[in-house]
Structures are given as C-alpha cells and as structure tokens.
A and B are shown apart, each in its own frame.
Chain A
Amino acid sequence: MTVMEQRGAYRPTPPPAWQPRTDPAPLLPDALPYRVLGTEAAAQADPDLLRRLYAELVRGRRYNTQATALTKQGRLAVYPSSTGQEACEVAAALVLEEQDWLFPSYRDTLAAVARGLDPVEALTLLRGDWHTGYDPREHRIAPLSTPLATQLPHAVGLAHAARLKGDDVVALALVGDGGTSEGDFHEALNFAAVWQAPVVFLVQNNGFAISVPLAKQTAAPSLAHKAVGYGMPGRLVDGNDAVAVHQVLGEAIAHARAGGGPTLVEAVTYRIDAHTNADDATRYRGDAEVETWRAHDPIVLLERELNDRGLLDDEGVREVREDAETMAADLRERMNQDPVLDPMDLFAHVYAQPTPQLLEQEAQLRAELDAEADGPHHHGPEGVGR
C-alpha cells in the first residue's frame, strides 16, 4: 500500500518542531468565477455605481478604438489594446482612493486614463517621444511596465514602505496571465505575504500571452489558486462583469487597508484585439472563439442590467456616447500634432549630475546638430586626403 493509498488512516507523528501553518481552505478561490450581473445579486448594486461604470466602459472602448486608429495613422508607434478588458481596467481605476497607487503593465493605459491621467500623457510611451509621460508621484501611477511582472515587486515595496510610515495607502498591481509565469510574479507574491503588505494583485487572464494560450502557460487549477501557496487569499471573478470586478477588488483593497495583507484576484476576460497592431491573431485563434466572447462583452452585460432596471434610457446612452466622442476627438486632435522633441533631453536625466563622460557626449551631439543645421560639410581637417 502506498502512502497515497493509506492517506485516509495515515496519522504520522510530526517531525520535531513541525507546526501546522495557515489553514489553506479559507484562501481557496471559488470554483466558478464570481458574477454579479445576470444574478440576483445585481439587484443590490448601487445605481450610481452602475451608471458610472457604464459611462467609463463606453469611454474606455472609445479610447481603445481611437488609440488603435492612431497606430494606423502613424501617430502611435504601437498600441496594445485592452478592448474586451475594459471592465477590469475601469474597475481597477475606480476602486482606488486618491492616495492609493496603481502599478500598470503596458496594456493598462486605460486604467491610468480612467484614474484621471491625461490620455496624451498615458500614451507618451507608445507614441515614442519619451518613456513615461507623467510624474508618477503626482498621479500615484507607476510608469507603465513593459518587462513582464517586474512592476509587481515595486508595488509590494511601495505598499510596505507606506505601511512602515503609518500611511493609509494600498497598491493595486496589474499583470496578465503570461506574467504569472515570470519569476518576479512569484517573488512579489511571496514578499507581499511575508510582509503582509497592503497590496492587491489583479491578474487579467485574457486567454493569451501574445499567441500562447493559458493551457501552455500553466497547469494550475486556476491562476487564483496560486495565491494559496503564498498564504494569501485567491479570488476568481468574471473579468467582463464590471460590477463583480469592482466588488471583488473593493473587498480585497478594504482587507489590505485594514491590515489583512495581500490578495490575488484573477479576472477571467478576453483580449478581443490582437496583442498589438503589429500582431496577427488569425495565426493562433479562430473567429468563432472571438465571437463567443463578443457576446459576453462587458458593455453588453452592463447595458442589459441597466435596461432591465430602467436605469438607462436613450438620452442617457446618447450622453455617454457624446462624452466618449468628445474625449476621442480631443485625443485625435492633440495626437495629430507633432511632439516637440529636444535631443539634448537624452542626456538630461540619466543622472542627477551628468558624468564627465556624458558631458563630452552631449557636447558631441550638440556639435553634430549645429553642423547638421549648417548643411553638408566635410569631415576632418580641410585639404587633408582630398
């Protein structure tokens, strides 16, 4: 009889000093993603919150389509769209208090915009005129992180520092399903749990890491289950149900704020667009799958609830759409202006005081620019070798 077979009756004497640690049962996520919309719980949802979420979702969708259009016009170098994921993006922004911090990945410009950041500043990285277009401390939005999951330990450290200072600050860190395979995801969750840092991790499981589906990414029962190994609660939520995501994140943040430590939230959603405008999604997935998810669109789900409860009329829809169009028109107009570039900025912020070596290189570039302005010129001393 193997150990596995006799497990039921198997009661060994524990090794010296061994103590049972955390009971894993309360940390386990629900078997099915938590839903509010389309369930009885929806009736309890605050009408103002529903209307606000709806307005932001419509605005967010318009932001995504506008930014994608800007890539086609050459005004953005690249845009990783969050179309289909707006419920996660919007809920993440709305659930935070003023003093809280958001740690976005490169796909989360919408969350930053929904938090109040100027879209032009949010898109600076993707336009390519600088790396971060805003002061992170002013908005409490960390720079968009392109290296996957590397922003997660930053969120943990910031939350930890805030707690050490006695400040009421929670950090919300965003990551995708692919990012959960990175070492930094593991290290961040481990540090967060050990330190009981006031941080919440939101995994937007959108089905794909560029082309690689979740099945090739993990063998875990769900990404939310990973929380249990670190000793923190895992929550599984329908990522296209804005009300459910808002509620689950809100509870996790309240828990962190009260000193309860971190939570891992997995929101199950879908990346409707390709990875970026440079990607071709037809190489790795079929239209039928995309169509299934279009039917489960976050705006459609919320609109249905609003209509059922009589919270939205045609006039309301028109107002929301007009607001989104105004935002898009403003974004279009401002992004159609060429950014003002100063090549000398390349040297201005590498160090507080430029090194002697950088001062030399700065002088070199300045001389090259001056020479360029003077038109074609000879290289080297006059008359030598010519």
Chain B
Amino acid sequence: MTTVALKPATMAQALGRALRDAMAEDPAVHVMGEDVGTLGGVFRVTDGLAKEFGEDRCTDTPLAEAGILGTAVGMAMYGLRPVVEMQFDAFAYPAFEQLISHVARMRNRTRGAMPLPITIRVPYGGGIGGVEHHSDSSEAYYMATPGLHVVTPATVADAYGLLRASIASDDPVVFLEPKRLYWSKDSWNPDEPSVVEPIGRAVVRRPGRSATLITYGPSVPVCLEAAEAARAEGWDLEVVDLRSLVPFDDETVAASVRRTGRAVVVHESGGFGGPGGEIAARVTERCFHHLEAPVLRVAGFDIPYPPPMLERHHLPGVDRILDAVGRLQWEAES
C-alpha cells in the first residue's frame, strides 16, 4: 500500500489550485477581477495564473464591479466560462443589478437557451480585523435571489472541491470564501484533489447525539470548537456543515435533527432576515414532532458590521453558542 503524501496547504492555496486546474482543463475558463493578474489578488488566490495562462485568461479589469460582472455575462453568452473575483464582500454591491437582473435570470428568461456558467468569488465575513466595508456577511442577499447557487467552503479540501464544481456548473454560482479561513491549514494532497459534486450536499463534520449545530463557512471551526468544549458540560454535539446554502440540503439537516431532537443555527450574518430564520423554519416544518425545544439561532447582531476593535463582541463565539445550547430545554431530560 502506497502512502499518499499529505502536505499542509492553506485554503487560499487550494482555491488557487482549483482555478489553475480548471483553466488548464478548459480553455473557456477565464479569471477576471481587480488586481487578480500581476498582483495575484489581494488575498493571493490568483497568484501565478496570469503568468501561466497569460493576461487574456487572467485579466486585471478596470475598477468597476458592475462592469466586471456585466462583461462576464457577455463573455458567457459567447461560450466562455468566466470566474469573476469581487475583491471584498461589500465591494460586490455595485454588481447587484447585473447579478439579480441578468446573471440569475438569463437561463429562465431564455427558456434554457442561454445559461450563464459564471462563478462569482466573494471573500466574505469578519474576524480579520478589517476596517469598515471589509467584513460583511452578504449571503442572505444572494440566497434571496432565485437562479443563483450559493456555496461556501469551510475546509481546505472543500475549498478546492466546491470551487471546481462551481466552475463546472452550467448555472451561476456565488462562491463565498470565508476570508478568515484563507490561511487555515489542513493536510491535503494537492495531487489527488477531488471535486465535490453535486453542489447542494451538506456534511456532518462531527457526529453527536445531544443537539445539532447547523452552520457553514467561517462558523464551522467555531462550532467544532464549541462541540469540543461542550463535552465538559456533558453534551455531545453534532455539527452539520451546510457547504451549500442554495440548493439547501434539507435531507441531511432534517436527518440530523431527528436524531438529536435539538438544533441551533450558527452564522455571522445578522439574525433578522438572515439565513438562520429560513433554516429554523425548514427544520421546524420537517422535524416538529422530533423537537424537544424550539430551534435557536446564534447570529451576528442586527447592526452594521462593527469596527475591528469591537468585532469580537459581534461574532458568534464558543460561549454564545454554548449558552444557546444551554437554553434548549434540557430540564425535561433530568
């Protein structure tokens, strides 16, 4: 038996590798965005692509997000497969009209004649000490737009696998990259990378029997940490990493909650009108008779994203998660 050489890699490196492999495999794949060429992107995800594939394949565009996505629409209409980088979550907002009015609708508008295989990479979320407009969790806006897929990795391997699957998808995918996990390392064999397909399957990151933490992206490691800490309190928590917000994996989520009988949804995005409300409703609709307590949410506060020196109070942390777990009506058990 041969031993596979597992090397530590960062999520940013895995994302870059996914772009490179996709570009090498399919000449229709074009990377475009602000600073993605010579600089290699502000997070260095596109490092080396312009050099390897030329500036026509990895293009530094003018600084205009609607223009970047709008021209990507035209390129996709002509048969290319653009991968667009939005430099930061909050800098993607100028592209919303193109995203909502065209990218999300083109397949439907043309009765399937003209799908748009565009991947829109968006670094998102907080926890990196970013100043204003650099830490938004914008997933709820995207989730509310029919026609888009919305995915977000939490591990190095998923970063590669989900990005490959997103680029291969014939539908537009908003690919949310948890920027505080860009430098997270994991043992990963870059020579045997695997594509995560189909898009839309959640995964149980940690099996447990007491309650389910339903989470995604940057909150997955926090929930895993909380689950470890919960052992001291006598709770054995299951952690479900959604990986895909659209499509949503009702099956995996509901199966977990039916097993555990209790659930907490955890995300950085604000709670009011956020993904957690939708998830809690879906779980309740499917698992009502299995639930021992209402589904709770641990979310960011409903405030504009805080300045970096205060963000730790805003972000869901281990204690806030365990406090919520503690409110899951355990009295009946004793």
Contacts and interface: CB of A to CB of B under 8 A. Distances in A.
Contacts of A154: 70-71, 73-74, 77, 102
A155 B94 contact: no
A156 B74 contact: yes
Interface string B110-139: 111111000000000000000000000000
A150 B109 CA distance: 15
A156 B70 CA distance: 9
B78 to A, nearest CB: 4
A349 B114 CA distance: 10
Contact of B106 (A143, A153, A160, A194): A143
A132 B109 contact: yes
A25 interface: no
Interface stretch (B17-25, B36-44, B56-64, B314-322): B56-64
Contact of A159 (B61, B74, B105): B74
A136 B110 contact: yes
A174 to B, nearest CB: 15
Interface string A257-271: 000000000000000
B67 A191 contact: yes
A355 B248 CA distance: 8
Interface string B259-282: 000000000000000000000000
A147 B97 contact: yes
B170 interface: yes
Contacts of B61: 191
A274 B211 CA distance: 63
A220 interface: no
Contact of B77 (A130, A152, A158): A158
Interface residues of A, number: 43
Contacts of A352: 107, 115, 169-171
B75 A194 contact: no
Interface stretch (A182-190, A233-241, A314-322): A182-190
Given A184-B66, A191-B61, A355-B246, A349 B107 contact: yes
Interface string B167-189: 00111000000000000000000
A40 B97 CA distance: 47
A348 interface: yes
A194 B105 CA distance: 28
A165 B75 CA distance: 11
Interface in B133-148: 146-147
B97 A132 contact: no
A194 B108 contact: no
Contacts of A158: 74-75, 77-78
A162 interface: yes
Given A183-B94, A349-B107, A194 B73 contact: no
A128 to B, nearest CB: 13
B251 interface: yes
B243 to A, nearest CB: 14
B247 A356 contact: yes
B181 to A, nearest CB: 26
Residue in A136, A153, A159, A353 with the greatest tally of chain B CB atoms within 10 Å: A153
A162 B71 contact: no
Nearest to A195: B71
A203 to B, nearest CB: 18
Interface string B70-98: 11111111111000000000000010011
B292 interface: no
A107 to B, nearest CB: 17
Residue in B56, B101, B113 with the greatest tally of chain A CB atoms within 10 Å: B113
A366 B81 CA distance: 35
B206 to A, nearest CB: 24
A311 to B, nearest CB: 40
A137 B62 CA distance: 28
B112 A349 contact: yes
Interface string A166-200: 00010100000000000110011011001000000
B300 interface: no
B72 A157 contact: yes
Interface string A136-148: 1110001100010
Given A191-B61, A191-B62, A184 B71 contact: no
A348 B109 CA distance: 11
A187 B66 contact: yes
Contact of B108 (A155, A159, A191, A350): A350
A361 to B, nearest CB: 10
A137 B200 CA distance: 30
Contacts of B108: 131, 349-350
Contacts of B170: 352
B298 to A, nearest CB: 24
Nearest to B147: A350
A355 B74 contact: no
A161 B78 contact: yes
A142 B74 CA distance: 9
Contacts of A135: 110, 113-114
B228 interface: no
B250 interface: yes
Contact of B70 (A188, A345, A353): A188
A357 B244 CA distance: 13
Residue in B70, B146, B251 with the greatest tally of chain A CB atoms within 10 Å: B70
Given A147-B102, A187-B67, 18 more contacts: A147-B97, A147-B101, A150-B102, A157-B72, A158-B78, A161-B77, A161-B79, A165-B79, A183-B94, A191-B62, A348-B112, A349-B107, A349-B110, A350-B107, A351-B107, A352-B107, A355-B247, A356-B247
14 contacts: A130-B111, A132-B110, A136-B110, A136-B113, A143-B110, A143-B114, A156-B67, A159-B74, A187-B62, A190-B62, A349-B111, A350-B146, A351-B149, A355-B248
Interface of A: 130-132, 135-138, 142-143, 147, 150, 152-162, 164-165, 169, 171, 183-184, 187-188, 190-191, 194, 345, 348-353, 355-357
Interface of B: 56, 61-62, 64, 66-67, 69-80, 94, 97-98, 101-102, 105-115, 146-147, 149, 169-171, 198, 200, 246-251
Q: Which 5 A-B pairs have CB atoms at the shortest separation, nearest pair first?
A: A157-B74, A153-B70, A187-B67, A157-B71, A355-B247
